[in-house]
Amino acid sequence: MGFEQSKILVVDDEPGIREFLQIMLNKNGYLVDVAGDGVRAIEKIEANLFDLVIVDIQMPLVSGIEVLRKISEISPETSVIMITAYASHETAIEAMKLGAYDYITKPFKIDEIKLIIRNALDKKRLERENLRLRRELENKFGFGHMIGRSPELMTVFALIKRVSELNVNVIIAGESGTGKELVAHAIHYSGTRHEGPFVPVNCGAIPETLIESELFGYLRGAFTGAVRDKKGLFELANRGTIFLDEISDLSPHLQVKLLRVLEEKMIRPLGGTESCSIDVRIISATNKNIEHEVSLGNFREDLFYRLNVIKIVLPSLRERKEDIPLLAMHFLNKYSKEMGKNIIGISPRALAILENYQYPGNVRELENIIARGVALESTSLILPETLPNLVFSGNHTNVNEWDKSNANLDLMLESVEKQMLENALKTADGNKTEAARLLGISLRSLRYRLEKHGLYDETFEINELQSEEIKQM
């Protein structure tokens, strides 16, 4: 008993055929309705939604071909199987060209009918499932998931829409936490490659000794430990999109390899002697000024021009502060639901504090602040007392208020950076890993900045290691 919820309409002017098909289909668990002519069939189709219509081609008044045409107009999601009693199948072939799924001939072969019906319903079910999944992906990664209405973000939305319709490589630039991967998802899932895979790669997170084999794959025996063949990420992304995050971190050796892939559209796994062709769109991202990296000789100019067909620059959160209330409420609703808490809003004073903060970690930092607030808040509103001290201390620095007699930009930025480092360490009780998370930067970047300002203390690292050892005891 399969497909119990599938609704089928049988249309035939011969009562014996209608009764035979109705009994057979009912026994197989289908919901069956019948019509004795094309006029009555069209009335039923206009009034009900059927998964499948089985219709005789030759009928008086309105032919099966006319019924098929009407179904295509008013219910294109319905599959149609034609019935023909003629040795010549020219009319049935015409029906296939007009959109019929298949045809069956009289006299019927029971097994053949069952197989064709099952295949038609399988195909329709898969189409519906694919449509549902696509809508879920578009809802998750499409424009609707990118929150904001500022002019800066509207410009980005418009560019994403144009780029998604083109099969060109894209570079997304922006500070850490601005949503570069989210933009890459939106381009992929709203574009022509949405049915293909989306493969993200963090070029800065994979050790240099491993990234080549990760990108291009390897054959068994290519190196010590290669006990089996492994497909590379480029091959896994075939007919889809590969997202190369932090592209500027690629070594010169890998830059040469990537350039060859772009030029030849071929990859060769490590240990292999033959190349295979790939069809992959490359979306890259960087939080560095990549043009400056090119001028310094750190990034190949010819590779840059291959990747930078279109560039999308994401604004920082402090450049679109009118979006902060929308984003804050979005994250509030998200984490209230996840944590099972009844927090319905943010107090006006707390919201004012959030709007005045500079957000070095951008949207990602705001999300962390709201998630923390939801977790700690005991009332129905997020209050100022629930916000981290870092947000309050950050409000004291206003780059719009400056002394014209001492307007050295580098010195001002150095002062702001040092103050924020000190505040982050204080909030994190000296834990550098937590301080880096609060600031939205890597631990390596934090260590470099601490050393630059004379704030680095090896005891911090020792304390963190001891804490980890205690946790593991």
**pLDDT tens-digit map of 298-325:** 999 999 999 999 999 999 999 999 999 9
Would you say residue 220 has pLDDT above 90? no
Stronger pLDDT, 325 or 394, i.e. the higher one: 325
Q: Out of 23-37, 159-173, 185-199, 385-399, pick the least confident.
A: 385-399
Q: What is the pLDDT of residues 234-255, one digit of tens each?
A: 999 999 999 999 999 999 999 9
The contacts of residue 409 (CB under 8 Å, 6+ apart) are none
Question: Model-level pTM?
Answer: 0.56
Determine the pLDDT at residue 396: 43
Quickly count helices (H) and strands (E) in the chain.
20, 16
- Provide the mean pLDDT of the chain: 83
Please give the backbone phi and psi of residue 255, each rounded to the nearest 5 degrees, phi first: -60, -40
Q: Map out the domains of the chain as residue ranges.
A: 7-134, 142-315, 318-396, 404-473
CB neighbour list of residue 33: distance below 8 Å, 6 or more residues apart: 7, 8, 9, 10, 44, 48, 50
Out of 85-89, 102-106, 186-190, pick the least confident. 85-89
pLDDT of 404 reads 45
Q: Are 465 and 433 in contact (CB under 8 A)?
A: no
| Model pLDDT, residue 2 | 40
Q: Can you tell me the mean pLDDT for 408-413?
A: 56
pLDDT at 133 over 50: yes
pLDDT of 405 over the 60 cut: no
Q: Give the DSSP per-residue string, 207-242.
A: -HHHHHHHHHEE-TTSSTT--S-EE-HHHHTTTSEE
Whether residue 126 has pLDDT greater than 90: no
Residue 211 and residue 254 in contact, taking contact as beta carbons nearer than 8 Å = yes
pLDDT tens-digit series, residues 50-82: 999 999 998 988 999 999 999 988 888 899 999
Positive or negative CA dihedral for 41, 44, 45, 49? negative
Cα distance between residue 205 and residue 186, in whole Å: 23
Other CB atoms within 10 Å distance of the CB of residue 303? 22
What is the rounded average pLDDT of the residues 265-294? 91
Pairwise CA distance, residues 141 & 135, whole Å: 10
3-state secondary structure of 381: strand
Distances (CA, A) of 388 to 67, 136, 178, 296, 398: 67, 34, 21, 39, 18
Structure token digits, residue 308: 């930078």
Q: How confident is the model at residue 36 (pLDDT cuts 50, 70, 90)?
A: very high
pLDDT of residue 164: 87
H or E, element range at 127: helix 110-141
Burial (CB < 10 A; 0-12, 13-18, 19+), residue 390, is buried
Architecture of domain 404-473 in CATH?
Orthogonal Bundle (1.10)
- Whether 343 has a pLDDT exceeding 60, the answer reads yes
The pLDDT tens digits for 200-211 are: 999 988 888 788
Copy the structure tokens of residue 6. 């599938």
Q: Tell which wins on pLDDT, 131 or 182.
A: 182
β-strand 266-267 against 241-245: which pairing, if any?
unpaired
Determine the topology of domain 142-315 in CATH: Rossmann fold (3.40.50)
Tell whether domain 318-396 is in CATH 3.90.230.10: no
φ/ψ region of 132 (left if φ > 0, alpha if ψ in -120 to 50, else beta) reads: alpha
Q: What band does 225 get if pLDDT is binned at 50, 70 and 90?
A: confident
| Domain formed by 7-134, architecture | 3-Layer(aba) Sandwich (3.40)
Which of the four pLDDT bands, split at 50, 70 and 90, describes residue 461?
A: very low
Hey, do 318-396 and 404-473 end up sharing a CATH topology, with the first three levels equal? no
Which of 391, 456, 396, 398 has the alpha carbon at shortest distance from 424? 391
Predicted confidence band at 139 (pLDDT cuts at 50, 70, 90)?
low
Distance in angstroms (rounded) separating the CA atoms of residues 234 and 342: 45
**Of 191-200, 300-309, 350-359, 408-417, the least confident:** 408-417
pLDDT at 86: 62
Percent of the residues in the chain that have a pLDDT greater than 70, as a whole number? 86
Pick the residue with more confidence: 56 or 410?
Answer: 56
Q: What is the pLDDT of residue 141?
A: 52
Q: What is the pLDDT of residue 394?
A: 55
Q: How many CB atoms lie within 10 A of CB 327?
A: 19
Residue 398 predicted with pLDDT over 60: no
